[in-house]
Chains A and B, each alone.
Chain A
Amino acid sequence: MRCGLVLLASVVLSRTADARGEDFAIELKVATGEANQMAHESKAAAERAKARPQLEAKAGAPLRATWQLRCSRAAEPITDVTVHFFVVREAKVGQRALPKLDFTVAAESALTMDFQTGDRAEGDLSFRLEQPGAYLVRLEALDSKGEPLAFAALDVVAR
Chain B
Amino acid sequence: MHKAAWLIGIVAVGWLATPARAEHADIDLRVMRVNPSTGQTIAETTASADTDPPQGGLHRRPLFQAKVDQPLVLQFFLTNKYPHGEKKAVRVRYFVVREEKARQKVVPDRSRGTVTEGCFTLNLKPKARVGARVAFKVRKPGIYLLRVQTENTDSDHEHFSAIDLEIK
| Contacts from A to B (Cβ < 8 Å) | 1-2, 5, 82-84, 86, 100-114, 119, 121-128, 130, 142, 146
Q: 14 new A-B pairs (CB below 8 Å) besides A83-B122, A114-B86? A: A82-B10, A82-B11, A100-B3, A102-B2, A106-B135, A107-B134, A108-B3, A108-B132, A108-B133, A110-B10, A113-B125, A122-B120, A122-B121, A142-B11
A125→B119 contact, CB < 8 A: yes
B8→A111 contact, CB < 8 A: no
Give chain B interface residues in 8-51, CB to chain A under 8 Å: 8, 10-11, 34, 36, 38-40
Q: Say yes or no: is B130 at the interface (Cβ < 8 Å to chain A).
A: yes
A108-B6, A111-B131, A130-B137 known; A103 and B39 CB under 8 Å?
Answer: yes
B114→A126 contact, CB < 8 A: yes
A123→B3 contact, CB < 8 A: no
A109 to chain B, nearest CB (A): 4
Number of interface residues of B (CB under 8 A): 38
Sample 10 A-B pairs with CB under 8 A, ordered by A number.
Answer: A1-B3, A1-B7, A84-B7, A102-B2, A103-B36, A103-B39, A105-B3, A105-B135, A108-B6, A113-B123
Q: For the complex, what is the distance from the CA of A112 to the CA of B5, rounded to whole Å? A: 16
Q: For the complex, what is the distance from the CA of A112 to the CA of B121, rounded to whole Å? A: 11
B122→A113 contact, CB < 8 A: yes
- Mostly, the A contact residues are strand
B46 to chain A, nearest CB (A): 18
Q: Say yes or no: is B128 at the interface (Cβ < 8 Å to chain A).
A: yes
Give chain B interface residues in 88-139, CB to chain A under 8 Å: 92, 114, 116-125, 128-137
B153 to chain A, nearest CB (A): 15
| Contacts from B to A (Cβ < 8 Å) | 2-8, 10-11, 34, 36, 38-40, 71, 86, 92, 114, 116-125, 128-137
Q: Which partner residue on chain B sits nearest A119 by CB separation?
A: B123
Contacts of A86 in B (CB 8 A): 3
Q: For the complex, what is the distance from the CA of A109 to the CA of B133, rounded to whole Å? A: 6
A121→B120 contact, CB < 8 A: yes
Q: For the complex, what is the distance from the CA of A126 to the CA of B6, rounded to whole Å? A: 20
A29 to chain B, nearest CB (A): 14
A50 to chain B, nearest CB (A): 26
B52 to chain A, nearest CB (A): 21
A107→B132 contact, CB < 8 A: yes
Residue of A1, A105, A126, A142 touching B117 (CB-CB under 8 A): A126
Q: For the complex, what is the distance from the CA of A126 to the CA of B117, rounded to whole Å? A: 6
Residue of B114, B116, B128, B137 touching A111 (CB-CB under 8 A): B128
A103-B34, A111-B129, A112-B10 known; A2 and B4 CB under 8 Å?
Answer: yes
Q: For the complex, what is the distance from the CA of A142 to the CA of B7, rounded to whole Å? A: 11
The 4 closest A-B pairs by CB, nearest first: A103-B39, A101-B3, A125-B118, A1-B4
